[in-house]
């Protein structure tokens, strides 16, 4: 049986760029080298390796904080001691007491591809597509609904009229969890309920009405388009990275799919992610979209001034401003940005082998 997660990995970016294959090949290389140097794996994920008092953490795409010792809840800066070396593609936004060796920027060339669909014809406001469920994504989903749902005057009426209002957006919220026993709707609904019950009491109180009204409809999907089709039929793609924090930037195919697609997007990821993308040379269409929340810290009280609340405020404002401009001009601008980003990733892919060959010796000297 093909799981939903496996099915998603058959998407266009995975097939054309082979990014998962490249990532796994890189991880296998590091593990092979560590084995030859006398290290042994000390984690189920095979991401943490030890040799005597020395330790090496290898983490690509995922946030390095996920590799911390079980039960550790302290700051990223002190997650490991000075005897641990971290090898990652993450950008770390704080000083650490352990050395971090970040892969060369050109590593992101593994995401290079050209999308087949390039004709942007928006018919709905947002495209909000989420597969994996966690607390942050749940809150974002509830906040999206929170701005739409109105109290039902008849508590016995179950054909909620507000559900029709969601047709202004493309919404696909699957509730997949790595602990899921299967991909059935019942399991996904149970995941949804369980994740909500784990939220802080204040957030449960804030979103209780929204949660109570949507639960029976989970997992929720209001269209039958492919992910790629929904991307080019929305005014704004809401891209939610797997990880977001104040101190780590961990990127995946989600960000690079948005960068090479000729459609405006708003990114919810680690703090300062868009600033980092600009430094790398990517065009994030900052002249078209409000990226203000990229510089905000993580807060979860459900109030204006919180990053997740302002994320939707900025998204709505961006769509309104896009609609006030000449559509042909905006469409041309988006195509220009996408082609620029496609070319930049292609250049990174070409540079990557030489960049890695120059980078690896210093890392090898450190862990030998």
What is the CB-side half-sphere exposure of residue 305 using CA atoms within 13 A?
Answer: 2
User: How far apart are alpha carbons 126 and 4 in whole angstroms?
Assistant: 23
Q: Which residue has the tokens 């989420």?
A: 130
Which pair of structure tokens corresponds to residue 75? 């700051």
Predicted model pTM: 0.92
Which pair of structure tokens corresponds to residue 71? 């039960």
Strands 170-176 and 220-221: antiparallel
Which helix (H) or strand (E) segment holds residue 273: the answer is helix 273-280
Query: What pLDDT tens digit does each residue of the chain (368 aa) get?
Result: 344 444 557 789 999 999 999 999 999 999 999 999 999 999 999 999 999 999 999 999 999 999 999 999 999 999 999 999 999 999 999 999 999 999 999 999 999 999 999 999 999 999 999 999 999 999 999 998 876 655 444 444 444 445 556 678 999 999 988 777 778 899 999 999 999 999 999 999 989 988 998 999 999 999 999 999 999 999 999 999 999 999 999 999 999 999 999 999 999 999 999 999 999 999 999 999 989 999 999 887 778 889 998 999 999 999 999 999 999 999 999 999 999 999 999 999 999 999 999 999 999 999 99
């Amino acid at each position: 049986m093909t799981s939903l997660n496996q099915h998603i990995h058959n998407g266009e970016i995975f097939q054309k760029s082979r990014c998962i294959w490249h990532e796994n090949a890189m991880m296998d290389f590091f593990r092979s080298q560590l084995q030859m140097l006398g290290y042994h794996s000390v984690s189920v994920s095979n991401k943490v390796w030890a040799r005597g008092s020395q330790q090496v953490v290898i983490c690509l795409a995922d946030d390095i904080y996920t590799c911390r010792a079980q039960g550790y809840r302290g700051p990223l800066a002190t997650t490991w001691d000075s005897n641990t070396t971290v090898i990652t593609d993450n950008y770390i936004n704080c000083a650490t007491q352990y050395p971090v060796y970040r892969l060369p920027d050109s590593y992101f060339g593994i995401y290079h591809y050209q999308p087949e669909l390039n004709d942007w014809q928006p018919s709905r406001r947002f495209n909000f597509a989420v597969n994996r469920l966690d607390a942050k994504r749940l809150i974002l989903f509830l906040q999206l609904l929170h701005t739409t749902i109105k109290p039902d005057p008849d508590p016995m009426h179950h054909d909620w009229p507000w559900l029709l209002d969601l047709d202004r957006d493309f919404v696909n919220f699957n509730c997949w969890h790595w602990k899921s026993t299967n991909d059935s709707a019942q399991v996904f609904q149970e995941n949804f309920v369980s994740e909500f019950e784990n939220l802080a009491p204040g957030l449960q109180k804030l979103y209780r009405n929204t949660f109570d009204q949507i639960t029976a409809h989970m997992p929720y999907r209001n269209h039958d388009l492919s992910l790629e089709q929904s991307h080019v039929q929305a005014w704004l793609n809401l891209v939610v990275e797997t990880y977001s924090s104040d101190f780590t930037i961990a990127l995946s195919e989600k960000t690079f799919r948005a960068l090479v697609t000729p459609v405006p997007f708003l990114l919810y990821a680690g703090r300062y992610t868009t600033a980092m993308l600009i430094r790398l040379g990517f065009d994030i269409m900052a002249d078209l979209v409000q990226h203000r929340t990229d510089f905000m810290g993580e807060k979860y009280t459900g109030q204006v001034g919180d990053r997740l609340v302002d994320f939707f405020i900025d998204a709505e404002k961006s769509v309104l401003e896009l609609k006030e401009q000449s559509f042909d001009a905006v469409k041309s601008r988006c195509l220009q940005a996408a082609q620029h980003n496609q070319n930049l990733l292609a250049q990174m892919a070409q540079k990557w082998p030489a960049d890695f060959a120059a980078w690896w010796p210093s890392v090898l000297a450190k862990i030998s």
